[in-house]
């Protein structure tokens, strides 16, 4: 009990005896306009997929908050080698884990709390390898679900890569974006979704159960403005209604 209290007051992780040998650097907190963020650095080896010898950081969360933890994809997050991340809840139970993300050997996980307390980030490496990282976390409160729709008519969009009809939507990290033309067209539509950095994060051509309409979904890693781009398959013409939800 005393050891647990000291670990909590020191704001560092208190894992297994093997993990205790790895001393984490203190995380730094700063307030952004839309979220609470922080970071810490680690260097580790032989962590058995972040099960031992990990470098840990405790973060306090309240009910309904969403935390994104990453070694890639957020400003300041960096890594060398193959990182592995785990998130442990106040009762010592694993809540989320990730090995490969961002198109490489970095790691990223997102979790929404159902209760408050001290949550522990555990940073390690894949298998018995070595790695280093700057772990960045971002905390946000998920707003109520939102949605909307817009009609479009397009032609010669080269599978929604030009001449598209677009819609911007605001998204908080951890929210799921769903976009569809399934309910209001029989044409061959094509949907693409772009993130805040103007990079494509999702796309779909024939995603509905029947017909040639489109459907996609994506869980955001970063907060910001996302853009829906609606077009048609290949160089054809199409029209319909795009419906979107964010929750």
pLDDT tens over the chain, length 247 residues: 333 333 333 333 344 333 333 333 334 443 343 458 999 999 999 999 999 999 999 999 998 888 999 999 999 999 999 999 999 999 999 999 999 999 999 999 999 898 999 999 999 999 999 999 999 999 987 777 899 999 999 999 999 999 999 999 999 888 899 999 999 998 999 999 999 989 999 999 999 988 899 999 999 988 889 999 999 999 999 999 999 999 9
19 with 134, same domain: the answer is yes
User: What angle (nearest 5°) sits at the alpha carbon of residue 33, between those of residues 32 and 36?
Assistant: 40
The residue among 167, 204, 165 whose CA lies nearest residue 188 is 204
Q: Are residues 176 and 242 in the same domain?
A: yes
Can you give the pLDDT at residue 213?
95
Q: How many domains does the chain have?
A: 2
Q: What three-state secondary structure class fits 24?
A: coil
The pTM for the full model equals 0.55
Q: Indicate whether 105 and 163 sit together in one domain.
A: no
Q: What's the pLDDT score for residue 35?
A: 54
pLDDT of residue 223: 86
Q: Which domain holds residue 13?
A: 2-141
Amino acid 203: pLDDT: 97
Residue 208's closest CA among 227, 231, 173, 184?
Answer: 184
Q: Say yes or no: 137 and 155 in one domain.
A: no
Residues 8 and 105 in one domain: yes
């Amino acid at each position: 009990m005393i050891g647990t209290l000291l670990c909590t007051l020191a704001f560092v992780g208190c894992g297994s005896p093997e993990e205790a040998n790895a001393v984490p650097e203190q995380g730094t907190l700063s307030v952004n306009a839309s979220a609470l963020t922080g970071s810490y650095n680690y260097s580790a080896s032989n962590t058995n997929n972040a099960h031992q010898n990990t470098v840990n950081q405790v973060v306090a969360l309240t009910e309904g908050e969403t935390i994104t933890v990453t070694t890639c994809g957020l400003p300041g997050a960096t890594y060398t080698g193959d990182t592995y991340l785990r998130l442990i809840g106040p009762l010592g139970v694993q809540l989320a884990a990730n090995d490969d993300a961002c198109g490489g050997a970095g790691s990223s996980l997102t979790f929404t709390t159902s209760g408050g307390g001290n949550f522990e980030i555990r940073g390690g490496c894949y298998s018995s390898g070595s790695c280093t990282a700057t772990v960045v976390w971002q905390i946000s409160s998920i707003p109520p679900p939102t949605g909307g729709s817009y009609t479009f008519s397009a032609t010669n969009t080269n599978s929604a890569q030009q001449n598209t009809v677009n819609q911007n939507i605001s998204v908080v990290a951890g929210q799921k974006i769903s976009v569809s033309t399934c309910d209001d067209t029989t044409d061959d539509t094509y949907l693409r979704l772009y993130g805040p950095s103007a990079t494509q994060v999702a796309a779909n051509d024939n995603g509905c159960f029947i017909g040639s309409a489109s459907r996609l979904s994506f869980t955001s890693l970063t907060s910001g403005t996302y853009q829906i781009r609606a077009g048609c398959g290949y160089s054809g013409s199409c029209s319909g209604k795009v419906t979107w939800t964010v929750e």
